[in-house]
Each structure stands twice: as structure tokens, then as C-alpha cells.
Homo-oligomer: A and B are copies of this chain.
Amino acid sequence: MVLILISGYEIDLERALDIIKRAGVRRVGVQVPDGLKRSAPEISRIIEESGAEVLVSGDPCYGACDIDLQLCSMVDLMVHIGHSEMCESLSDRIVYIEARMPDDVTEVVERSLEFFTKERVAVCTTIQHAHMIDRVIGILRSHGIEALAGGPSPRTRHIGQVLGCCYAAARVGADEALFIGTGRFHPLGLSMATGMRVIAADPITGSVEEIETHDFLRWRYGIIARASDAKSIGILISKKPGQRRCVTARRLSSLGRSKGKNMLDVCIDRIEPERIIDLGLESVVSTACPRIALDDARRYGVPVLTPPEFEIALGMRNDYTFDEIPEACGEPEST
């Protein structure tokens, strides 16, 4: 193990160093998510000791969907920290080194037990706790609960692993779910995407709570209503390889045009309020990471919708559907 400890995470560089040394890699790119960016100089120094030159990605990184393609083209090998492999077409150039949170989950899992009303419970988590999934399942089973976790999907690599845009691992035929992790976005998405009753247990803060979705739905339907009046609408297509959905974007543009809207297709790397204002758009539909429309919404002056929400706004869909990205690596560029 060549271990780096940062902000409560463990990063083991051994596998990356093995590959670099064995293959005699000359130029290495390093990409680290924002919360762990401060570890980049140390990671860089350790890799340089193996004789390679290092180039660090200075731009933000939000996931394995957000591979720095330009850096990738400038180096012989990329070391991508903190996320599990996603885009297989890039995988021969990239080593994924996960960042694990070693915090024990036993206490929050035990405290979650009283919340469940069914015998069958789906168990899932984010990448930093994915190595704990067997322990979580074990605890639930020892209390007579049939805990189940789905296998890897095109976008995930671990049993029980979910992403903000992918809840495949939780679709195991249960009505209730236990989510292990931090923040409200994933458990909310999990509940919205699967219709399950979700108990969120946070091993860092120790909080255990049932996720409520009514406020979310009320809020989203309000935004959809506001967007319905917009005449000039932008369809945002991400440049990030795992968020690029050209086929969806083109379909939504055609739908909008068929309803008499002025549509503008916008290819964009970082979606920010100024960008939308600059383009004079009254509403936008983000085909990128669902967090942009859902988690960052309050930063924008205009309604930002997900693709299914836009279909509701156009009157072409009735039921609320959470936006998931099923493909391994975005969508092909050509139809």
C-alpha cells in the first residue's frame, strides 16, 4: 500500500505506481475531484519518484463521467482519483484509484433497523463506502432482514454502488431501501428513481432519516410550470464524456420546435448562470448530470429542467420521472 490520507479519505496509489513502473510510463496525468484537490501535489510527488513526469488537471472534476479528455491526450497514462471506471472506450489510458472512507458503518446501520417495515430491503451506497456493502448486508441479515444489493451496471463497478444519475444497483425488487452515505441528493434521487421508501444513514454525521419527496415534487412542478411559458429554450449538451447526450438533446430540440419554441442547442463544459444569461435564454434543459437541474437550481435565474421535466412542460408526459443516464459513457454523437 502507498497510502495517502486526506479529508477522511484513504487513497492507495500502489496499483497506479505498479503500472507506471512496469510499463515505464513517461508522462502521467493526474485528475482529482475538487474535495480532494489538495492531495494533488503529494500524489504528483509520489508518482514523480517513480521517474515519470506529472501533469495535474487544474479544472474541477465531478466524477468518472468528467474525464479530462484534453489532459488525457497530452499524457501516456491518466491516474483518475476518487471514482470507479465508467467510460470503457477510454479505459486503456486511465487507471481509476478509488478514495475510500474507512469510517465504520455499524452504528448507523444498527440505528436504521427500526425504520424498516418490510422484510426485503435494497442496500446501496456511493463509491467511498462501497467496500462496506458486505458489512451492511451482514448486519441487516443478522437482524432477519433480507438485504439485497444489485450488481455493477454500465456506469458502476461495485455491488450496491449508485451514482446521482444511476440507481440500477438498487433495483432488486424491494419496496424499502437503505442508503449509506452523505448528502440528500443520492437518497432523494434513489427514492424518486425507484419509488422506494428510502432510509438514509450517514456514517460521517451519524444521522439516520427517512427521505421525504413531497417538497421536492412540489418544487419541481413549480419550476416546470414556470418553464412552460418560455419561448426561447436552450438544450444544454455537456462536453464531459460521461454526460454527453447528443441523441437525447436532438430529440428534445425537435420536440420543442414541434411545439413552436425557439430552440438553441448549446454545447458546454461548465454550466453556470452567466452562460445562460449571456445567451438570452428564458429556460434551459440540461441533458448533463441531473444535479445541475436539481441540486444547483437555486443559482440560476431561469428554470433549468431535466429531459423528462421538459417533456412534462411541453405536455407530452404526465408522470414525474427522475433523470437517469443509462449508457456507460454518454450517447454516440451521431444519430
Give A57 Cβ to nearest chain B Cβ, in Å: 6
Q: Does A323 contact B (CB under 8 A)?
A: no
Contact B275 A59 (CB under 8 A): yes
Q: Taking chain A's interface residues, is the majority helix, strand, or loop, or is none over half, making it mixed?
A: mixed
Q: Are B38 and A262 in contact (CB under 8 A)?
A: no
A53→B70 CA distance, assembly (Å): 26
A268 touches B232 (CB 8 A): no
* A38-B278, A38-B279 known; A58+B262 contact, CB < 8 A: no
- Is the CB of A204 closer than 8 A to any CB of chain B? no
| Inter-chain contact B264/A44, CB cutoff 8 Å | yes
Q: A275-B58, A278-B34 known; A40 and B70 CB under 8 Å?
A: no
Chain B residues closer than 8 Å to A269, beta-carbon distance: 58-59, 70, 269
Contacting pair A266 B56 (CB below 8 A): yes
Q: Does A41 contact B (CB under 8 A)?
A: yes
A26 to chain B, nearest CB (A): 10
With known contacts A29-B267, A57-B268, A269-B59, A279–B40 Cβ distance under 8 A: yes
- Among A193-209, those with CB < 8 Å from B are none
Query: Which residues on the B side are within 8 Å of A262 (C-beta)?
Result: 41, 45
Q: Which 7 A-B pairs have the closest CB atoms?
A: A58-B268, A37-B278, A58-B266, A70-B239, A71-B267, A38-B280, A56-B266
